Amino acid sequence: MAPPRSIAPATGKLGVLLPGLGAVSSTLIAGVLTARGTGAAPIGSVSQMAHIRLGDRTEGRNPLIRDFVPLASLDDLVFGGWDPISANALEAARTAGVLEERDLAPISSDLEGVVAMDAVFDRDWVKKLDGFRVKQGRSKLDLAAALMEDIERFRSANDCDRLVMVWCGSTEAYREPTEVHESVASFEQGLKDSHVDISPSQIYTYAALQSRVPYANGAPNLSCDLPCMLELADRNGVPIGGKDFKTGQTLMKTILAPGFKSRMLGMRGWYSTNILGNRDGEVLDEPENFKSKEVSKLGVLDTILQPEEYPELYGNLDHVVRINYYPPRGDNKEGWDNIDIFGWMGYPMQIKVDFLCRDSILAAPLVLDLALFFDLAARAGEKGVQEWLSFYFKSPQPADPALPPEHDIFIQQTKLKNTLREWMGEEPVTHSEAG
């Protein structure tokens, strides 16, 4: 058994910085404040509610994860954020319409106290939004410097021991990496020249990494999955990871697909359609922004089903994803899936899944877990891509860019728990009968 990692204790306050004070962020903050105030269970949060088995089953050791690893406590979290539209978390929550007034009323003054800092925002990347609380600067380097000042101001004003940043801003337009992203040197030159290929979220990433703040990306656009950010994270010793929170339809896909594959059932097609009416849906109504999401959602099945290994089962699969903006639904998304599978002697069958979900209700606990686990990773001396947190992402960033990401939620969960076990000096659980 490996000796336990030396992990610095979670003393003092942890600042959770959220670029994008919209539906997800405001739902997260409201849920944490409510849990703190009333003791309500933080449902959906693995870090808070899941147990972890240690050793052999017969030993009966099964603590809560939060009692097993030294995580920051909910009482020690302080929230901050940037937004080009929302003034504060209360206004964001009311605009989003996820939570009812009866849930907001008891915490309204605390929510109002989370005041949005002016954003680094550029309509070229999010055409559907008209931001007005926006930083001005002569160059993108000036904007990065302004974010770093915000970070330091927040740190000292709130007396934070440590910070983490989780991108909860709108999905930016789809772009491929270019030469400006190749190295820290080229990116910094690009910031000075206000290079058109540098997006706002990349400026936040740079500011976080320069401030030695762990960074996770909840949206599907490029931000920390770029060679320059890998180099910077390594140089400054900062954990990073992404991307795109795994909620709703993709969550269902990565639960179901491993099941079909485990039974060697074939698949001919998977047609997914979504209707949603929140601001996220409106942003994704723009083809360039939808493209970022589509690429993220489409990657999932191939790596789970491995068509190259199983051509007769998965070699001829039509995988289609649609998102339609439909305002009457608000944040209550409907994700329909039609799955065409086939079995013994090739006989076809169909499965229909209609998930009437609440996007931000599913996403909020993921942001909480990511904030707590990224902080843990930093205290455990980790830097670079945190592959063990793939569990939370639709499009997980592999530590080795040459390797495909792991999408199977059950493998991801095993990886997460075994990483925690090994850090704490416990044996990984393999479920083997052999040894």
Ligand X SMILES: NC(=O)c1ccc[n+]([C@@H]2O[C@H](COP(=O)([O-])OP(=O)(O)OC[C@H]3O[C@@H](n4cnc5c(N)ncnc54)[C@H](O)[C@@H]3O)[C@@H](O)[C@H]2O)c1
* Size of interface with ligand X, in residues (CB under 6 A): 35
Task: Name the phi and psi angles at 16, rounded to 5.
Answer: -110, 110
Using the minimum distance from each CB to ligand X, give the nearer residue, 360 or 390. Answer: 360
Among 214, 248, 330, 396, binds ligand X (CB under 6 A): 248
What is the DSSP code (8-state) at residue 164? E
**CA 308 to CA 403: how far, in whole Å?**
15
Instruction: For residue 215, give the amino acid letter.
Output: Y
**CA 101 to CA 109: how far, in whole Å?**
13
The SS3 call for residue 372 is helix
Which residue, 337, 358, 339, is CA-closest to 350? 339
Instruction: For residue 151, give the amino acid letter.
Output: I
Using the minimum distance from each CB to ligand X, give the nearer residue, 21 or 160. Answer: 21
Using the minimum distance from each CB to ligand X, give the nearer residue, 19 or 241. Answer: 19
Which residue, 120, 129, 117, is CA-closest to 87? 117
**CA 126 to CA 128: how far, in whole Å?**
6
Which residue, 292, 287, 283, 120, is CA-closest to 221? 292
The region, left, alpha or beta by phi > 0 then psi within -120 to 50, assigned to residue 212 is left
Among 15, 19, 42, 335, binds ligand X (CB under 6 A): 19
Which residue, 26, 150, 203, 169, is CA-closest to 99? 26
Using the minimum distance from each CB to ligand X, give the nearer residue, 174 or 423. Answer: 174
Using the minimum distance from each CB to ligand X, give the nearer residue, 310 or 355. Answer: 355
The SS3 call for residue 59 is helix
Which helix (H) or strand (E) element contains residue 370?
helix 359-379
Using the minimum distance from each CB to ligand X, give the nearer residue, 208 or 219. Answer: 219
Q: Is 48 in the site for ligand X (CB under 6 A)?
A: no
Question: Min. distance of Cβ 386 from ligand X in angstroms?
Answer: 18
Q: Is 202 in the site for ligand X (CB under 6 A)?
A: no
Query: Given the structure tokens 């000796």, which residue do they identify?
Result: 3
Q: Is 406 in the site for ligand X (CB under 6 A)?
A: no
Q: Residue with CB nearest ligand X?
A: 22
Tell which positions 87-146 bind ligand X, by CB under 6 A.
Answer: 96, 119-121, 126, 129
**CA 272 to CA 319: how far, in whole Å?**
8
**CA 277 to CA 328: how far, in whole Å?**
6
Candidate segments 1-9, 164-172, 183-191, 253-261, binder of ligand X by CB under 6 A? 164-172
Question: Min. distance of Cβ 429 from ligand X in angstroms?
Answer: 29
Joined together, the tokens standing for residue 415 give: 């990886």
Instruction: For residue 220, give the amino acid letter.
Output: P
Tell which positions 206-235 bind ligand X, by CB under 6 A.
Answer: 218-219
Candidate segments 79-87, 152-160, 260-268, 378-386, binder of ligand X by CB under 6 A? 79-87
Residue pair 225/181 in contact (Cβ under 8 Å)? The answer is no
Tell which positions 277-296 bind ligand X, by CB under 6 A.
Answer: 278-280
Among 230, 323, 362, 372, binds ligand X (CB under 6 A): 362
Candidate segments 46-54, 84-92, 154-162, 225-233, binder of ligand X by CB under 6 A? 84-92
Q: Is 23 in the site for ligand X (CB under 6 A)?
A: yes
Query: Given the structure tokens 């959602």, which residue do they identify?
Result: 297
Among 91, 110, 225, 244, binds ligand X (CB under 6 A): 244
Joined together, the tokens standing for residue 237 give: 């010793």
Among 79, 245, 290, 392, binds ligand X (CB under 6 A): 245
Using the minimum distance from each CB to ligand X, give the nearer residue, 135 or 417. Answer: 135
Q: Is 84 in the site for ligand X (CB under 6 A)?
A: yes
Question: Min. distance of Cβ 88 from ligand X in angstroms?
Answer: 11
Positions touching ligand X (CB under 6 A) are 19-24, 82-86, 96, 119-121, 126, 129, 168-171, 200, 218-219, 244-245, 247-248, 278-280, 359-360, 362-363
